[in-house]
Structure 1
Amino acid sequence: MRRRTFLAAVPAAALAGRAFATSRQENPNRNRPDVHGGDRIDGATWASRSAAWGLHGAAATAHPLATQAAIDILKAGGSAVDAAVCANAVLGFGEPISCGIGGDCFVMLWDPKQRKVIGLNGSGRSPRALTLAEQRKRANAKGVINLHGAVSVSVPGAVDAWWSLHQRYGKLPWKDLFQPAIRHAEDGAPIVQNVAYYVGSSYRIFTEPGAQIEEVDNFKKVWAPEGKTPREGDIFRNPGLARTYRLIAEGGGRAFYEGEIAQTIEAYFKRIGGWMTAADLAAHHSEWAEPGTINYRGVDVWGLPPNSQGFVTLQMLNMMEQFDIKAMGFQSAAAIHHSVEAKRLAFEDRARFYADPHFYKQPSEWLLSEDYARERAKLIRPDKILQTVYPGQAPSHGDTTYFTVADKDGMMISIIQSNYSGMGSGLMPDGLGFMFQNRGQLFALSDGHPNIYAPGKRPFQTIIPGFATKGGEPLLSFGVMGGDMQPQGQAQVISNLVDFELGLQEAGDSPRWHHDGGHEPTGEDLGPIGKLNLETGVPQATQKALAALGWPLAPAPGGYGGYQAIQRWPGRYAAATEMRKDGVALAY
C-alpha cells in the first residue's frame, strides 16, 4: 500500500472536518489586533510568559521537540555543543522553513576552559563552475541574482560546522546526536503552526509561473504529495531525510561532503543544469573566527566579522550609546527614532564594506571604533529624519532559526542556522529529503563592489549569533532570527535589557520595530527613507509622534524576527523563547 509522505494519524472522523479552526483565515476571531493577551499578576503586562530557570543547563529553540532533545542530551552527560547539534538536526526536520543541512551556520560560544568567546564561520562558497558572466546573463529585471533556482545555491556549511564543533567540544558519540531527529523523521511528528503557514507560502512561491526553479517535483513529493501542504497538527514524515541523517551519523560530518551524499548532489545538479559538484563540496571547511566586541554601558557585546553582518549590531549600539536612550523612555518615539537612524547609518556601511574577507579587506577596527561612532551619531537629529544617508569614508588601505544551549560546566553556545529566504532555493536533491539554501542571491553583480560574485567566494551573510559578557564573565547567549531584522532585533534586545532593565523574556516580548530601506549588499537601492514597520503593541502615541517626524509607517506582520536567549546568573540559568514563533525554553 502506498504511504503518504505526511499524513494525519487521527481518527477517520476527524479527517472529514476539524473541531477547531487552526488559522486566521478560518476564523475571523483570530485576527483581532485590538485584542491583547490576558493579564499577568507579575512581570511586564505584555509578556507572554516568564523565563525558565534551572541549575544545571538550559535550552531555547524555535521548536518544542528540538528543545526537548537538547535537554535530554544535556541530562545524558552531553556538552552544550552536543545538545546544540542534536537540536539543530531536529530543527532541520521540524522547522525546514528556516533551516536544514542544505544551509549555513554561524556560532559563538563561551569556552569555560579558555574563558573566552569563540567564533565559528560555517558558511559555504559559490560553485566554481558558475561564472560572473553567467550570473549576469541570468540576473532578474532589477539586475540582481534570482532568489530561487540553481543560481542562488552555495555550498551548505551547516554539517561541517557541527562536525568542527563536536571534534573540539563534543562529549557524547557523534552518532547519538542524530537519533532523535532520525526517529522523528521516520515515525513522524505533528506540524507546528508557523511551519504549516510558511510551507504553504513556499508551495505557492515555488509553483507559480515564472518562478525560474529548475525542478520542483522533489519538493512536491515530500511536502505536497497530493497537491496540498500539511496543516497545523498534521503528522509529517520525511524518510529521505532520515536516511541522509543516518549516513551522516554513521560516516561522520565529512560524509555530507564526500561519498554517496556528495555524488547524489552532483548528479542532481547535472540533471537539472546546475553547477555544484562533488569537488565543491569536498573543498568546503568551516573556519574558526575571532569575534569583535564593543562595550555598551558596561556590557561587552560580541559579533562575528564579515562575511557575516555581526558587526552591524555593534555599530548600531556604538551610535546608540552616544544618546541617553533610557531618559527618552521605553517605547518612546525619541528612543525608536534615534535607534532607527543608527540602523540606517550602520546599514549603509553594511552595504559598502561587508564581504568575504578572503576577497576584500574590511576596515573592521575603524568601523567599531568609538571615534567613528561619535562622528556618525552627530548626523542624527532629534527633530527630523536624515533625508540621505551614506557609508562612512574609510581610511585607505543573511529566513533563519536561532537557538542556544548552556551546560553544567558553564559552556554557552549561541548558534544560528539558515536556508536564507523562506525554505531556500526550491531545489531538493533526489531522495535526500532536504532543500538547498539560496544564500548565493546575496552577491552583488556590479564591478568594484566588495561583495561582487566570484566562483569559490562566500556571499554576504545575514545570519548572526549574539553573545554578551560582563566583567570577563559570560552573561547572555542570544539571537534574533530573520534576515536584516537580526542586527535590528539584537540592538533592541540589548537596549531593553541594559537601558530599560527588562527581564529576559520581557526583553524579547516587547514590541519591535523593523526598518526597510537604503542600500543592500547586493547593490540594490530600496529608497533613501524606506519604511518603518511597527508591531501593533507600540503605543499609539508613539506611532503618531513617529509619523509626525515623517516616518512612513507600516505593520509588516511576521517581519519582526524570532528571539531565543539564555542568561547566566551565579549558579543558575534563565532561558527565554520567542512568543512570535512555536518554540519552547526549558531548564533543569
Structure 2
Amino acid sequence: MRDFHMPGRSGTYATNGMCATSHPLAAKTAIDILERGGNAMDAAIAGAVLLGMCEPQMTGIGGDCFVLFTTPGDQTIRALNGSGRAPAAASAEALRAEGHQTVPLHSAHAVTVPCAIDAFCRLSADHGRLGLDALLAPAIRYADEGVPVAPRVAFDWPRAGVTLQGHGITHFSRSGKPLTTGEIFRAPGQAEVLRRIARNGRSAFYEGEVAEDMLAALNALGGVHEAADFAAAESNYTNPVSGDYKTATLVEHPPNGQGATAILLLNILSHFELAAMDPLGAERLHIEAEATKLAYDARNRFIADPDHTARLDHMLSPETAARLAALIDPKRAMAAAEPLTEAVHRDTIYITVVDRDRMAVSFIYSIFHGFGSGIASEKFGILLQNRGAGFTLEAGHPNELAGGKRPMHTIIPGMLAENGRVTMPFGVMGGAYQSTGHARLVSNIVDFGMDVQAAIDAPRAFADPAGLKLERGFAPEVAARLADLGHEVIVPPEALGGAQAIRIHDSGLLEGGSDARKDGCALGY
C-alpha cells in the first residue's frame, strides 16, 4: 500500500469494464462506448482515434498501430499488424547515391504509407459491435470543437514542433508558435476525413480526394509515393511471440515490432536473482542495463519486416539468453549497443481496455517522432508519420529500406498471462525504451510484488548509446555507484516513457494503473 502522506495516485478498481490511457477524454470516451453496449475493441478504437486530437504530437490518422487482443470466452491472444510499407519505388541505393547514411528524418523519404485507418476498419468489422460511424463520432466532435491542450502535450509541443514544415505549421501551430496549456487545438480537416471514413470505410482515406491530398504533399517534397501505394495499404492478422519469466508469460507482437527484444531481455535477466536485490538499487539497475545492451544489439541485427526477420527463433531461444547472460560482469559496465539508425523517439500513445466479457485489448498507435515527419497535407491537415526512418541504409541488412517493406518498429503492445489466463494487457510508451520498459514492469510485478500503479510509478533507467539515463527518482548514491561501475550516468530532461495497464484478478476484479508521466488516467465502471 502506498504512503498516503506522500504525493501519488491510487490504482483504479472496477468490475464491469476499464480503460487506461494517456488522456482523460480518451479514457472517458472508451468507458462511454462500453456503457453503450460496445465491447473492448470498440472502446479502444474510439479512444485511440480521439487521442490523435488530444495528443497530436504523438499520434494521428497518418500513422500506424499494432494490436494484441482476446475475444470473449477465449484466452487465445491474437495480433494485428497495422504498420505501413515503404512506397514501391523506394530505394536505399538511391538515397546512398545522394550521400545519405540514414533515411532523412523529416523528408518524404521517411514517410511510409499510413496503415492505422485500414486497421481500425478491419478490427471494427471483424471484432466490434457498434460500427465505425459510432466509434468515430467522438473524435469528429472534438476535432471540430477543439480539445484544450494538456500540460504534458504543451511540454512536448515546443520540442516536437520544430520539425513542422509547410502545411504542418499551418495545421499544428499558431502562426509558427507552439500551443500552450489550455489553448484549444482544432482539426476540422481531419474531422471531415473521419466523417468520410464513417460513411464509406477505408476507401475514403486510401483513394480519391483524401489520398490525393496526401500524395500531393509528399510528391512536392520529392517523395516517390504513388496512388497505388495508398490503395494497396493493408493490415494483417499474425501470431504473437511469447516467453516465460518465472510464474508469468510475456506475450508480444511479432516483428516488425521490437517485442521479441523484451522477451530476450527477460530471458537474460532470469539468470540473475533480481528478487534478492533492492528494486531501486544500483545492483539491479546495472544488471538490467547490461542485459539491455545485449538484447538491443540482437534487435539491431535481426528484427525487420516479417518476411526478412530470419533468426527470430535464435533470438528467443534459452541458449542465446544464457550465452548473453554469461557476458555480463556484475562489477563493470560494457559498451552500449550501437543504434540501428539515428531514429530514436519518445512519441507514442497507448490504450488498453477490458470489458465485462473480459475481452482484453492492448493497442499502440504512433506517428513515430514528435509530429512525425512534420509534413502535413494541405487541405485536410493529415500529419504523416516518418516511420521509414526506422529502416537502415546498410546494404544487405535485413532492415534495409526497399519498396514494399515494413521497417523495424519500436512500438509494442504487451500482454501478461499466468496459469493459462490473460492477466494484464499493458504498454510502456517511450520509443526505443519500450522493450526495457516492458521487462522492467514485468519484473516489478513478478520479482518485487508491486501492484500495478506502484510498478508503473517506480523510477526508470535506460541504457542507450548516449549513456545510462536515470530518472530523478533514484537516490544520489545510486547514481554514484553506477558511475563507479563505469556507466555514463545521464539525467534526461524528460521522463522515460509512460505506461498504462489493467490487471485482471482471479476474482474478475479489474485493477487499472496509469502513468503520472502522462496526462491520462485509468477509469472503470
Give the alignment's TM-score, normalised by structure 1. Answer: 0.85
Tell me the residue number matched to 2:67. Answer: 107
State the AA in 1 paired with 2:482: L
Deviation at 1:191, TM superposition (A): 0.7
Tell me the residue number matched to 1:507. Answer: 455
1:458 to 391, 397, 406: 406
Instruction: Show CA shifts across 1:309-337 (max 9, x none).
Output: 01000000011011110102211111111
1:479 to 427, 443, 453: 427
Deviation at 1:274, TM superposition (A): 1.9
Matched residues in 2 for 1:443 and 1:389: separation?
17
Deviation at 1:54, TM superposition (A): 0.7
Tell me the residue number matched to 1:4. Answer: none
State the AA in 1 paired with 2:501: A
Deviation at 1:92, TM superposition (A): 0.8
Deviation at 1:134, TM superposition (A): 2.5
- Going from structure 1 to structure 2, the CA distance change for 1:43 and 1:472 (only over 3 Å counts) comes to farther
Deviation at 1:246, TM superposition (A): 0.6
Show the 5 A alignment for 1:89-488.
Answer: 89-138=49-98, 140=100, 143-206=101-164, 216-358=165-307, 360-387=308-335, 399-488=347-436
Instruction: Give 3-state SS (helix, strand or coil) of 1:484's partner.
Output: helix
Matched residues in 2 for 1:227 and 1:552: separation?
37
Tell me the residue number matched to 1:213. Answer: none
Contact kept in structure 1, 2:54 and 2:149, CA below 8 Å: yes
Tell me the residue number matched to 2:342. Answer: none
Deviation at 1:159, TM superposition (A): 0.8
Contact kept in structure 2, 1:43 and 1:50, CA below 8 Å: no
- Going from structure 1 to structure 2, the CA distance change for 1:138 and 1:568 (only over 3 Å counts) comes to farther
Matched residues in 1 for 2:262 and 2:85: separation?
24
Deviation at 1:202, TM superposition (A): 2.7
Segment of structure 1 superposing worse, 302-311 or 129-138 = 129-138
Matched residues in 2 for 1:137 and 1:103: separation?
28
Matched residues in 1 for 2:175 and 2:49: separation?
27
Deviation at 1:188, TM superposition (A): 1.4
- Going from structure 1 to structure 2, the CA distance change for 1:203 and 1:139 (only over 3 Å counts) comes to farther
1:573 to 488, 503, 510: 510
2:17 to 35, 57, 64: 57
Contact kept in structure 2, 1:482 and 1:559, CA below 8 Å: no
Matched residues in 1 for 2:19 and 2:180: separation?
27
State the AA in 2 paired with 1:416: I
Matched residues in 2 for 1:138 and 1:440: separation?
17
Aligned-residue identity in percent: 39
Contact kept in structure 2, 1:241 and 1:434, CA below 8 Å: yes
Segment of structure 1 superposing worse, 404-413 or 220-229 = 220-229
Contact kept in structure 1, 2:495 and 2:517, CA below 8 Å: no
Tell me the residue number matched to 1:394. Answer: none
Q: Does 1:86 align with 2:23?
A: no
Segment of structure 1 superposing worse, 62-71 or 190-199 = 190-199
Matched residues in 2 for 1:138 and 1:562: separation?
38
State the AA in 2 paired with 1:188: G
If you compute each CA radius of gyration, which structure gives the higher value, 1 or 2? Answer: 1
Q: Does 1:48 align with 2:8?
A: yes
Matched residues in 2 for 1:257 and 1:313: separation?
34
Contact kept in structure 2, 1:312 and 1:346, CA below 8 Å: yes
Deviation at 1:387, TM superposition (A): 4.4
Instruction: Show CA shifts across 1:137-176 (max 9, x none).
Output: 4454xx1111102011001011111112112210002101
Matched residues in 1 for 2:157 and 2:89: separation?
31
Deviation at 1:44, TM superposition (A): 8.2
Matched residues in 1 for 2:4 and 2:285: separation?
19
Matched residues in 2 for 1:262 and 1:102: separation?
11
Q: Supply the RMSD in Å over aligned alpha carbons.
A: 1.8
2:489 to 546, 549, 553: 553
* Unaligned segments of structure 2, at least 5 residues: 340-344
Deviation at 1:113, TM superposition (A): 3.5
Deviation at 1:46, TM superposition (A): 6.8
Instruction: Give 3-state SS (helix, strand or coil) of 2:193's partner.
Output: helix
Deviation at 1:443, TM superposition (A): 0.9
Contact kept in structure 2, 1:345 and 1:390, CA below 8 Å: no
Alignment coverage as a number of residue pairs: 518
Tell me the residue number matched to 1:35. Answer: none
Matched residues in 1 for 2:98 and 2:115: separation?
25
1:583 to 503, 520, 525: 520
Deviation at 1:390, TM superposition (A): 9.6
Instruction: Give 3-state SS (helix, strand or coil) of 2:86's partner.
Output: coil
Deviation at 1:536, TM superposition (A): 0.8
Instruction: Show CA shifts across 1:519-555 (max 9, x none).
Output: xxxxxxxxxxx40010111122221111111111001
* Unaligned segments of structure 1, at least 5 residues: 1-40, 207-215, 392-397, 518-529
Instruction: Give 3-state SS (helix, strand or coil) of 1:547's partner.
Output: helix
